[in-house]
Structure 1
Amino acid sequence: MARTSRARQLASIGAEITESVRTPGTDIDRVMETAEQKITRLAERAEPEQGVTLLEGMERLLPELERRCNVPDGITGTPTGFEELDAMTSGLQAGDLVLIAARPSMGKTALLISLLLNSLMKKSGSKGQLYSMEQPTEQILMRMLASLGSIDLTHLKSGLMDDEDWARATDASALLMGDLNDSLIIDDTGSLTPAMLRIRARRNARRYGHPSIIGLDYLQLMRCPDQENRTQEIAEISRSLKALAKEMMCPVVALSQLNRQLESRADKRPNNGDLRDSGALEQDADVIVFIYRDEVYHENTEDKGIAEIIISKQRQGPTGRSACSMKVVLPVFLTSRADRGGAHEQRP
């Protein structure tokens, strides 16, 4: 019965495709995308999750524990390149949904780009995917040049570059086109749906290699038209990102906006209640990271050029604060300073 039902549904999808392509002026690319989404959803329903016995589970776990014990620096996941962050997380773990959230101008995209580049350079042969719905590929690449070459981003944007800028840009370009070349796939398609994102992630994994990290900028720009309201839409997007992390068995790092209500507080450091549009984000995320720069609110602060990295949630590890030096003009986070938040809070 199940096979007959799937056959009917597949035949129906085929009939829809045939009817669509016969209509004058039809967007063929759109038809192909829609058909792929429907077939993917049908295939997912046809493959129920299977459980494992304790014996089967332990046979998988023990070799993984042995691998972790043989890692000399304790970074068992994908390294971020930030000493304190890696120490607190042991690297971003496979299957985890990691949210990086902040108000505008705090450096969300800069941190994500730094994480991606650091992870690819620290693990030879690793692959990454970046889905940038906010900025086109050219702007992402300029940020990478500025980050790798320590070049003033305004010089790259204006073209007013001196000889030193050109030398740094040349070296950074050589790294991106040489050692890194196909290690990072950038997709700047706007307004992705969860189904579209999963399809593209799978396709890129087949073409370029399985990713060790996936980045998304940013989740509120995704759309989920089948939902009744924005809260349900964000909840479905959040659930789908967690499912993608588990399916691809790599960390999915998604940027998120925060509610503007925090601007009215005396202490504007974010907390989990500030996540925008849905409580599902707090529930689904394995790790929540906030960015706070005091100089955005206080011009005369002593913490100029400092971005606080606040881990407010971590399912299997401590939470706490560290601080990173950040060049405001250059879109790059530098080496972390010593932890400024005292003892880490160990979650039960």
Structure 2
Amino acid sequence: MKVYKEDLQWAASQGLISSQQVDAVWDALSERNSDRPQFNFANVAFYFGALIVISAMTWFMVLAWESFGGSGIFLLASIYAFCFVIMGRRLWFDQNLKVPGGLSFTIAVCMTPLAIYGLQRWTGFWIQADPGTYRDYYHWIKGSWFFMEVGTIIAALIALKFVRFPFLTAPIAFSLYFISMDLTPLLFGKTDFSWKQQLLVSMWFGIACLIVAYLIDIRTRRRDGDFAFWLYLFGLIPFWFSLSFMGDSNEFQKFIYCLINLGLMVLSVLLRRKVFIVFGAIGVFGYFGYLASTVFNNAVLFPVVLTILGIFVIYLGILYQRNSQAIERFFEGLLPEQLRQILPRD
């Protein structure tokens, strides 16, 4: 729930607080929340600038990096990372500029896969065959990228130990997503794995990532920063896409797929995570589209039934918006006390 100054002024008009307290409370809340990410011009500039630097230092500069050779790539990437750590330390600890300081540490972490790539190119050590240039890291599924991804996760975890900046979980989640794909050739061999095996590994890895995100979610307070969002997102991506592309001609399995997506929508309410309802709604809508185009292609009443169902869903949304807290309390009341205790709280 967001609070605006107009809300405090309304509270004063209702006699809940005095008019003199409005400015004092607002100034105190503004100072308390000054370090939290907010959607304003300054933070947009910070994040946009950081993404430009990350892109320039990693993806857009790959051809230039290759000209330095393995040793040059390793040394330059390490120097860049060290410089951004120094800049982040100065901004975060000395000047109390949490957002630009945390982004500086994130940039340093994002240099890790490039540094490890340079080291492996320099030494010639690959867990499998030579995977090609660094640009291929973002395009091709290969087991030889594994150490680059694990190294990035370790670097981000070390940074999080000293700097509690939620965006540092983004490179962790991104690397976990890449691992979910690159792990398949390590498990099934360089060329022997099938598309179905790839989907199976990605799906289970996505489930594991979602479990880790949930464990983080129940152990952190979201008002101090959302440390689980990126893990939820990059866990849902491999899980949902793998589940969707593992489709079978079996109608019962397709129905189960619809039920799983409905379950994701229910989880979005219990976990208070909108990202679940996005993926779940797309899955359910896709199933309805399949029914309309294949199963009930010639059924005149099917579009009418779907229209009525859609209007009913909109009506449910209106009811939920008007009575969201009461509905959430009702559903939580249906759960055993042990389950209520393990639900995340805002």
Same-fold status (TM-score > 0.5): no
Of structures 1 and 2, the larger Rg is shown by 2
Q: Could you tell me the TM-score, scaled by structure 1's length?
A: 0.28
Q: Identify the structure with the greater helix proportion.
A: 2
Q: Identify the structure with the greater strand proportion.
A: 1
Q: Could you tell me the TM-score, scaled by structure 2's length?
A: 0.28
